[in-house]
């Protein structure tokens, strides 16, 4: 086999994935694939199952049937700690930074999957990307603004040197100017060679950033396609994107 056939294996793939919370089926036959270098978004209303889809990559909940494949290998039964050492990092919904720790300590926590060997170098790279975090490196993280905490959550994920970064509603609850900055940062991170899977309710911003997108309704992938085409489709805009 040639090398080029390797590159056709998606970096991450959901193949017919179902997942449950008790009797409630939160993911229904989900098929999603993300290739290295892509920016892919997943759009859906509150309660659609977006966070569940991201958490299922790390096994919470586990897929009850179907497979989650990373580089073609089934990771759906793998221990969570091993999955996070495969170069996949999550920027969780609601930031979930360590409120009582300083900015720099939060960034240290991000190195957990790879260890501290590159800490200073990577911290300095993040301080270039986020000058505000450098200014506030010794500040207690919980005292910062929502936008600053979001930047810290992104920096923390980057400290694990991930190849694939999952963003769970990074714009949620932020003022429009900060939302704009968050999406600029995502673009810069993509330019650093990272693959991005972006979950958003903010369809407009997400579709402008991504190349391809999936629309989730009630635990199912309802639509998928080129982001620009979805954004141009009047019926899709009204029915699924909350746009006019
Ligand atoms: N820990 C949980 N236990 C039980 N049900 C849950 C849990 N987390 C989410 N759900 C349910 O699963 C569905 C999908 O939720 P979620 O993945 O959080 O949606 P989204 O991120 O799109 O808002 C919702 O009906 C929600 O109530
Ligand atoms: Mg969610």
**Protein residue with least CA distance to atom 2, ligand 1:** 21
Cβ–ligand 1 distance for 51 under 6 Å, the answer yes
Among 25, 26, 42, which is best to mutate for testing ligand 1, by the most ligand atoms less than 8 A from CB?
26
pLDDT at 2: 43
pLDDT of residue 1: 42
Give 239's Cβ-side CA count (13 Å radius).
11
Q: What domains are defined for the chain?
A: 37-62+78-240 (3.40.50.300)
**Is any atom of ligand 1 closer than 6 Å to the C-beta of 43?**
no
**Distances from the Cα of 208 to the Cα of 45, 80, 178, 205, angstroms:** 18, 32, 16, 5
State the distance from the centre of ligand 1 to the C-alpha of 47, rounded, in angstroms: 6
Q: What is the pLDDT of residue 48?
A: 96
pLDDT tens-digit series, residues 151-198? 999 999 999 999 999 999 999 999 999 999 999 999 999 999 999 999
Tell me which residues of the chain have a pLDDT lower than 70. Answer: 1-7
**pLDDT recorded at residue 241:** 80
């Amino acid at each position: 086999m040639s090398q080029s056939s390797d590159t056709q294996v998606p970096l991450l793939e959901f193949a017919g994935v179902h997942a449950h919370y008790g009797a409630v089926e939160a993911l229904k036959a989900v098929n999603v694939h993300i290739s290295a270098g892509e920016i892919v978004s997943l759009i859906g209303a509150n309660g659609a199952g977006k966070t569940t889809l991201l958490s299922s990559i790390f096994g919470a909940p586990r897929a009850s049937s179907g497979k989650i494949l990373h580089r073609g290998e089934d990771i759906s039964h793998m221990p969570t700690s091993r999955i996070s050492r495969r170069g996949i990092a999550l920027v969780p919904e609601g930031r979930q930074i360590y409120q009582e720790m300083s900015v720099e300590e939060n960034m240290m926590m991000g190195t957990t999957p790879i260890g501290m060997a590159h800490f200073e170098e990577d911290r300095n790279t993040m301080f270039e990307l986020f000058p505000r975090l450098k200014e506030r490196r010794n500040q207690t993280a919980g005292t910062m603004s929502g936008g600053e905490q979001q930047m810290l959550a992104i920096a923390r994920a980057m400290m694990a040197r991930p190849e694939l970064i999952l963003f769970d509603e990074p714009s949620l609850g932020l003022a429009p100017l900060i939302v704009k900055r968050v999406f600029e940062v995502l673009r810069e991170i993509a330019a650093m060679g990272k693959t991005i899977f972006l979950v958003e309710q903010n369809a407009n911003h997400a579709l402008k950033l991504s190349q391809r997108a999936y629309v989730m309704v009630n635990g199912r992938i309802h639509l998928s396609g080129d982001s620009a085409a979805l954004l141009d489709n009047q019926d899709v805009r009204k029915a699924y994107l909350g746009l006019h």
